[in-house]
Amino acid sequence: MEEVAHFTEGEFYQVHFDSRAYIDSFYSCPRGHEEEENFLSFVLACLSRTFSTGKYKGQRLIEVGSGPTIHSIISACEYFQEIVLSDFADNNRKEIVKWLKNEEGCFDWNPIIQHVCAIEGKRPFDVEVNLRQRVKQVLKCDVRLENPFHPHNIDPAECVITSLCLEAACKDLETYRKALRGVATLVRPGGILVMVGVLGQTFYYVNEKRFSCLILSKTNIESILENLGFTIHEFNILPAQDRKKIVSDFQAVFHLVALKSATYTCDG
């Protein structure tokens, strides 16, 4: 497997990230990658609990850093009229658009959709139709920018999701703090931020290419969010099981839901 001496930021992903190999390896079935036992099923269950009751709803949902995936919005799509997905890498966005248009050779998300629908008692066909209808834009984003969607200005949303993005895009904690600040500006006052990520991870592999990851702790994330005017309602953690650590070395996967203060204003 290829070793990389420097932190692999967005430009490295643009050239080296194999979008199809990634989803084939990590999203072909609900249990996810065989080495990362229960990782994906934990994430899907957490997202289902967050969204399936309809407690959180609104006009717009934005996902920052979708990768080539749509799994994060399966449980949410019924409750938001328009959904914006995004990623830095062109091939990741192309993979999403290919599925949205149901083009020949697109990735088969049916096993994941069916798994979520079995939890929620919904019809997979209805959810699939909702997903394709409600995703209105698939935009380029760069979380290192103050406005991740520059040069576009996106109106803040009732809900913002970011999953497995910031720790892979940010080379140090200060960059992460700035990135999370940019993501936070996309959340309307009184809206929610839903995050999925990994703790204590330094690398992961896709098709024998090594990608970097910023080591994060629960305390890091809590402190930054609180300083940005968020109240954390849930912080769920699944510790990693003993394994060979060939494909990744995360210590835990987390899911959190944070409410943005209705009175918070950015002070620059």
Q: Taken in order 137, 142, 148, 151, is the CA torsion positive or negative?
A: negative
- The answer to whether the CB of 256 falls within 8 A of the CB of 232 is yes
CA atoms within 13 A on the CB side of 262: 1
Is 90 labeled as ligand-binding? Answer: no
Q: What is d(CA 246, CA 28) in angstroms, rounded to the nearest whole number?
A: 19
Q: Is 66 annotated among the ligand-binding residues?
A: yes
Is 92 annotated as ligand-binding?
yes
Distance between CA atoms of residues 35 and 43, nearest Å: 16
E strands within 200-251?
203-206, 209-212, 230-239
Nearest to 36 by CA among 252, 256, 264: 252
CA distance 183 to 64: 7
- Strand runs (DSSP E) across the chain, as ranges? 58-64, 80-87, 135-140, 157-163, 187-199, 203-206, 209-212, 230-239, 252-260
8 Å CB contact between 11 and 57: no
Residue 27, marked binder = yes
Q: Are 100 and 130 in contact (CB under 8 A)?
A: no
**Annotated binding residues for S-adenosyl-L-methionine, as ranges?**
22, 27, 65-66, 87, 92, 142-143
**Annotated binding residues, as ranges?**
22, 27, 65-66, 87, 92, 142-143
